[in-house]
Structure 1
């Protein structure tokens, strides 16, 4: 089911800047028993992205009502919200854009996440590197061609997810998830001020770890540092936390960090 500007339809104007330029942002939230997990954080993400992308969005109350309405009646599901700058002229100028477009949809939560949680996943190093751009770093904007290419290469391997470096060689994220690794009592996660997506679940995990016996550090780290970890986990708003059983040829069996975070992330608020 799609809602476009409050109307149930699946047709978007060809002139919309989402299709013309990828001019917009999005968020993807988990639904549990009709409720949206981390609802306020997803709204804040959209507001921050619109602010940084200079998209005037004044329909916040309508958006909240539509999100809640679509989530109702779903015991488990995925809610996706896209905000586009709307329709305008042919060129890059946004001077003729007067109303942002909001696109909402609900789909089933992938069943394989439950299997991944039990069995753990494998990571393969992606040959695709993320471009560094501090202006857009952290945002979940609509320009996802890097992730499309990463996924295409991943599907040529037997791995479940890809470990992705940026153009300088720093570990940044996975194709569709953020990454944490533990060495002793210290938990590391990549800094995302140059590239990558600052995921909602990543933010939640950092908050939980800051109140825990673990130390949490955001770093620029090379592949060799991650490969020396005692444990690696990945996360996103839908999974929400998954253990890694192998990264390339390196096998991992510890679940100390996973066992701490998994119960906290199951019904976050």
Structure 2
């Protein structure tokens, strides 16, 4: 990919580079179905030392979601080549990949022969995400419930209004994240994270077959646990169960691992979590591949 494909734009709060369908651009057609209906998917990929971290997990989830939505994508290698070219020379950053069904006419019915659109945006990595925050974070419960839809559960589709409304509920900078429940009161996860409960002998995390996102770091955590002799269970979790937990932590592709030290009126002692496991999870999450 040539150097002129990526176009510098904006200030620090804006993406530093933008590519649309492999070309330098910063405008999307107003007829794009992603804009009209949220008809598409996205991935948020950590870039470290010029390489995308945990890329195979992001790639596989994107292509699985595209198949479920009926959005034809080019080969995985084609997108991977573009991502590698964009990441080259970037010491630390965040790459956001958006894939929409492309442009279409008015109405929900999609074209039988869509022409998907790919938008890649590169952002600087905020300093707060460049280190493992062992001191933990403070979180709260959100009033906004997470919608239930088994047809969309697990995938990172573009309809994120549940999280948008939940994130509007607080502006206290000392609160890093909010936990969301489904309409029946079961935990789903954070507005942008997956939740894990540690009871001293087993890691538990909510299922993502009816709501929530199948996070790449969630998948890594479930796989890594066995190497540390930790049992895992994917099962419904009620908020009251967090009161008796030894500890809880959240996972996210950019933050990696967030131990929780306070949740509303609850506090968790710093020695309650399996720290060797968490440190390795954070390290592996920043490994290219």
- Asked if the contact 2:179–2:189 (Cα under 8 Å) also holds between the matched residues in 1, the reply is yes
- Asked if the contact 1:29–1:42 (Cα under 8 Å) also holds between the matched residues in 2, the reply is yes
Q: CA separation in 1, counterparts of 2:232 and 2:159?
A: 30
Give the TM-score of the pair, scaled to structure 2.
0.89
Alignment match, 2:237: 221
Is 1:231 aligned to residue 217 of structure 2?
A: no
Q: Deviations for 1:196-234, whole angstroms, at most 9, x for unmatched residues? A: 011001000110013321111111011001221101111
Is 1:263 aligned to residue 280 of structure 2?
A: yes
- Asked if the contact 2:257–2:281 (Cα under 8 Å) also holds between the matched residues in 1, the reply is no
Alignment match, 2:171: 155
- Asked if the contact 1:243–1:255 (Cα under 8 Å) also holds between the matched residues in 2, the reply is no
Q: CA separation in 2, counterparts of 1:162 and 1:183?
A: 21
| Structure 1 residue ranges, 4+ long, deviating more than 3 angstroms after superposition | none
Residue segments in structure 1 that go unaligned for 5+ positions in a row: none
Q: CA separation in 1, counterparts of 2:159 and 2:58?
A: 19
Is 1:2 aligned to residue 18 of structure 2?
A: yes
Alignment match, 1:13: 29
Q: CA separation in 2, counterparts of 1:266 and 1:116?
A: 9
Give the TM-score of the pair, scaled to structure 1.
0.95
Is 1:212 aligned to residue 194 of structure 2?
A: no
Is 1:176 aligned to residue 200 of structure 2?
A: no
User: How far did 1:171 drift?
Assistant: 0.6
Q: Secondary structure at the match of 1:211?
A: helix
Is 1:185 aligned to residue 201 of structure 2?
A: yes
User: How far did 1:261 drift?
Assistant: 2.2
Q: CA separation in 1, counterparts of 2:48 and 2:173?
A: 32
Cα RMSD (Å): 1.6
- Asked if the contact 1:227–1:247 (Cα under 8 Å) also holds between the matched residues in 2, the reply is no
Q: Secondary structure at the match of 2:217?
A: helix
Tell me how many residue pairs correspond in the alignment: 269
User: How far did 1:114 drift?
Assistant: 4.6
Q: Secondary structure at the match of 1:160?
A: strand
Alignment match, 2:9: none
Q: Secondary structure at the match of 1:136?
A: coil
Residue segments in structure 2 that go unaligned for 5+ positions in a row: 1-16
